[in-house]
């Protein structure tokens, strides 16, 4: 067995969160710069220039990229030969809490969906655990803004809908919802699985580096087709009109029931705060 | 980019000439408010009671900022989604709000209401929290301190850029802007 101290997990998670709210990811910055070159609308280009200027200002480490520092989502891969000394759950939540205080993140979590009291420290983070073979330990971290999360959708399509049905559903979701989600957006699509896992696949798809295609050639082709269609919608940066509405489309697929074709669309904004910790 | 300089509170003559897609540079006092505070204000107005702030002629910025760094009055402070505030908007307009700043489109019936009453809707750039935080000065809680980031703050902005999203001539940027680029 390999042993990892809970306190080491807390320190690493807190450090990654504190970094990701101030330093724009290199892949996102490159995608925004490419978008600036390709955008046909003057207003769209001005919006993109403002976002790049914003990223430059945030990099000083005082003001987060976005005031919506989000609901923290953690994907934990833990090797079955790893033993955590202490509470893994508490270690992760403490990391979120510490980063919130040290980096002056906004308190963006309601304790109850109807009573709406603020928890005051951004916990609880949403945590997905997966046991993997070996001695690896990895946490993928996402700070998910409310505006783009609200633009996400899900449907149980008929198997006969096929690729065309999936593409239509995704493009139509973006048409209806992207303007409220801080475009240019990043689109994660979950295909297959069950009613509960399709959205999880969509969220995992958002963890992929921007511009990296699915390993499956069919899915890779579908990603490109959907992205091209989305960028023909005209929504543009901020919804002000333009040729760049999305920076990327990533699809993750899984086996599903013979009667079902679950599809989920998880939208992320251009701030795209995603980080990874390996111990 | 060329901009129209606007001083707050809004002068109705200056607003008349604005057109969708134009940049404005705002300077002057604003109130911040979002979901939780607007729900409370809305509920008071519904009961015919006075809200804790006087909304007549004032502009509201839909935002929930991050906590300020030491010596500062506000942290990151970009706009939040305006559409979520629609249930509260008719009564806010009744109370005399003259303009709102947020991000993203408003529904057609709300846009029509803005135009009928001569209320301006400005779209700030969503996700530019650090940038907009640096344009805000003298933030102080004006109401509902218990709501934390969702409290109402009285703020002053200086050279705060936003785009005219709904003008008084019937224009709606979120409808008109995409048309030239729509190919699907």
- Which contacts (CB < 8 Å, 24+ apart) does range B153-156 have? B153/B31, B153/B32, B153/B65, B153/B74, B154/B29, B154/B30, B154/B31, B154/B53, B155/B29, B155/B30, B155/B31, B155/B32, B155/B61, B155/B73, B155/B74, B156/B27, B156/B28, B156/B29, B156/B30
Report the percent of chain B where pLDDT is more than 70: 99
Smallest Cα distance from A255 to chain B, Å: 31
pLDDT average, residue stretch A120-133: 97
* Yes or no, beta carbons of A106 and B149 under 8 Å apart: yes
List the single residue in B1, B67, B182 with the smallest CB-CB distance to A46.
B1
Half-sphere exposure of B159 (CA within 13 A, CB side): 5
pLDDT digits (tens, 9 = 90+) for A137-163: 999 999 999 999 999 999 999 999 999
pLDDT digits (tens, 9 = 90+) for B94-106: 999 999 999 999 9
Q: Which residues contact B12 (CB under 8 A, 6 or more apart)?
A: B98, B118
Q: What is this model's ipTM? A: 0.96
Domain boundaries of chain A, sorted by first residue: 2-20+64-144, 147-271
Residue B8 located in a structural domain? no
* Yes or no, beta carbons of A269 and B67 under 8 Å apart: no
Judged against a pLDDT cut of 80, whether residue A262 lies above it is answered with yes
Is B138 in a helix, a strand, or coil?
strand
* Yes or no, beta carbons of A180 and B163 under 8 Å apart: no
pLDDT digits (tens, 9 = 90+) for B58-93: 999 999 999 999 999 999 999 999 999 999 999 999
Secondary structure of B10-44 as H, E, C letters: CCHHHHHCCCCCCEEEEEEEEEEECHHHHHHHHHH
List the single residue in A55, A64, A182 with the smallest CB-CB distance to B103.
A182
In CATH, what number is assigned to the domain containing residue B65?
3.20.130.10
Of residues A118, A94, A86, A84, the one with CA closest to residue A17: A94
Of residues A66, A240, A102, A146, the one with CA closest to residue B132: A66
* Yes or no, beta carbons of B173 and A182 under 8 Å apart: no
* Yes or no, beta carbons of B63 and A63 under 8 Å apart: no
DSSP secondary structure, A18-59, as one string? HHHTTS--HHHHHHHHHHHHH---HHHHHHHHHHHHHHHHHT
Judged against a pLDDT cut of 80, whether residue B2 lies above it is answered with no
* Yes or no, beta carbons of B131 and A64 under 8 Å apart: no
Nearest CA in chain A to B172: A240
b/e per residue A239-254 (b: at least 16 CB within 10 A): bbbbbbbbbbbbbbbe
Q: What pLDDT does A163 receive?
A: 97
Cα–Cα distance measured from residue A41 to residue A36, given in angstroms and rounded to the nearest whole number:
10
The architecture that CATH gives domain A2-20+64-144 is 2-Layer Sandwich (3.30)
Lookup: tokens for A86:
């202490």
pLDDT digits (tens, 9 = 90+) for B163-183: 999 999 989 999 999 999 999
Q: What is the band of B20 on the pLDDT scale with cuts at 50, 70, 90?
A: very high
> Considering just the CA atoms, what is the radius of gyration of chain B in Å?
16
Cα–Cα distance measured from residue B20 to residue B9, given in angstroms and rounded to the nearest whole number:
20
Judged against a pLDDT cut of 70, whether residue A258 lies above it is answered with yes
pLDDT, averaged across chain B:
95
Q: What pLDDT does A141 receive?
A: 98
List the single residue in A54, A104, A239 with the smallest CB-CB distance to B104.
A239
The reply to whether A2-20+64-144 and A147-271 are identical in fold is no
Cα–Cα distance measured from residue A88 to residue B20, given in angstroms and rounded to the nearest whole number:
52
Q: Which residues of A touch B64 (CB under 8 A)?
A: 67-68, 106, 108
Q: Which of residues 13-72 of B touch A (CB under 8 A)?
A: 21, 23, 36, 63-69
User: CATH class for domain A147-271?
Assistant: alpha beta
Q: Which residues of A touch B179 (CB under 8 A)?
A: 234, 241
Smallest Cα distance from B75 to chain A, Å: 6
State how far the alpha carbon of A18 is from the alpha carbons of A58, A87, A99, A126, A194, in Å.
Answer: 12, 22, 6, 18, 34
**Running DSSP on this structure, what letter comes out for residue A110?**
B
Q: What pLDDT does A54 receive?
A: 98
pLDDT average, residue stretch A128-133: 97
pLDDT, averaged across chain A:
97
* Yes or no, beta carbons of B131 and A57 under 8 Å apart: yes
* Yes or no, beta carbons of A43 and B80 under 8 Å apart: no
Testing the interface with B: which of A180, A185, A228 to mutate, by most B Cβ within 10 A? A180
* Yes or no, beta carbons of A67 and B105 under 8 Å apart: no
Q: What pLDDT does B1 receive?
A: 64
* Yes or no, beta carbons of B64 and A106 under 8 Å apart: yes
Number of domains in chain B: 1
pLDDT average, residue stretch A171-192: 97
What sign results for the dihedral spanned by CA atoms A201, A206, A208, A211? positive
**Running DSSP on this structure, what letter comes out for residue B56?**
T
In this predicted structure, which of A211-215, A233-237, B8-12 has the lowest mean pLDDT?
B8-12
pLDDT digits (tens, 9 = 90+) for A19-29: 999 999 999 99
Q: Which residues of B touch A53 (CB under 8 A)?
A: 128, 131
Q: What are phi and psi of A242, to 5 degrees?
A: 160, 180
- Residue B73 belongs to what domain range? 30-156
Smallest Cα distance from B120 to chain A, Å: 16
Residue B76 located in a structural domain? yes
pLDDT average, residue stretch A102-127: 96
Q: What pLDDT does B13 receive?
A: 87
Whether residue B118 lies within 8 A of chain A, CB to CB, comes out as no
CB B124 within 8 A of CB B139: no
């Amino acid at each position: 067995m390999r042993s990892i101290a809970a306190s080491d997990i807390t320190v690493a998670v807190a450090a990654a969160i504190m970094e990701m709210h101030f330093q724009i990811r290199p892949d996102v910055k490159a995608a925004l710069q490419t978008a600036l070159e390709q955008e046909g609308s003057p207003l769209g280009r001005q919006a993109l220039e403002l976002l790049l200027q914003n990223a430059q200002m945030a990099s000083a480490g005082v003001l987060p990229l976005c005031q919506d520092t989000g609901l923290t989502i953690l994907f934990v891969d833990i090797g079955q030969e790893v033993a955590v000394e202490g509470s893994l759950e508490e270690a992760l939540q403490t990391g979120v809490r510490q980063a919130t205080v040290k980096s002056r993140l906004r308190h963006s979590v309601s304790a109850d969906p109807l009573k709406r009291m603020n928890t005051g420290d951004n916990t609880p983070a949403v945590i997905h655990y997966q046991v993997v073979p070996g001695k690896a330990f990895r946490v993928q971290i996402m700070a998910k803004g409310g505006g783009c999360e609200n633009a996400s959708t899900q449907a149980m399509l008929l198997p006969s809908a096929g690729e065309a049905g999936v593409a239509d559903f995704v493009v139509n979701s973006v048409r209806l919802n992207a303007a409220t989600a801080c475009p240019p957006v990043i689109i994660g699509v979950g295909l297959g699985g069950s009613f509960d896992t399709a959205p999880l696949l969509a969220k995992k798809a958002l963890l992929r580096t921007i511009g990296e295609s699915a390993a499956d050639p069919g899915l890779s082709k579908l990603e490109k087709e959907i992205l091209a269609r989305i960028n023909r919608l005209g929504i543009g940066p901020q919804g002000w009109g333009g040729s760049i509405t999305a920076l990327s489309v990533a699809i993750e697929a899984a086996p599903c029931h013979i009667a079902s074709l679950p599809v989920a669309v998880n939208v992320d904004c251009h701030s795209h705060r995603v980080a990874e910790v390996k111990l | 980019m060329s901009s129209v300089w606007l001083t707050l509170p809004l002068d109705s003559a200056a607003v008349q000439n604005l057109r969708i897609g134009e940049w404005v540079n705002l300077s002057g006092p604003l109130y911040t408010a979002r979901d939780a505070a607007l729900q409370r204000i809305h509920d008071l107005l519904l009961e015919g009671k006075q809200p804790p702030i006087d909304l007549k002629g004032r502009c509201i910025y839909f935002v929930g900022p991050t906590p300020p760094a030491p010596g500062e009055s506000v942290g990151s402070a970009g706009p939040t989604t305006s559409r979520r505030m629609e249930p509260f908007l008719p009564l806010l307009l009744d109370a005399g709000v003259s303009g709102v700043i947020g991000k993203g489109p408003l529904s057609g019936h709300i846009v029509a209401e803005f135009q009928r009453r001569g209320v301006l809707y400005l779209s700030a750039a969503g996700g530019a929290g650090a940038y907009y935080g640096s344009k805000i000065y003298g933030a102080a809680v004006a109401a509902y301190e218990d709501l934390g980031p969702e409290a109402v703050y009285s703020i002053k902005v200086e050279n705060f850029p936003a785009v005219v999203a709904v003008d008084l001539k019937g224009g709606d940027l979120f409808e008109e802007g995409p048309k030239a680029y729509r190919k699907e």
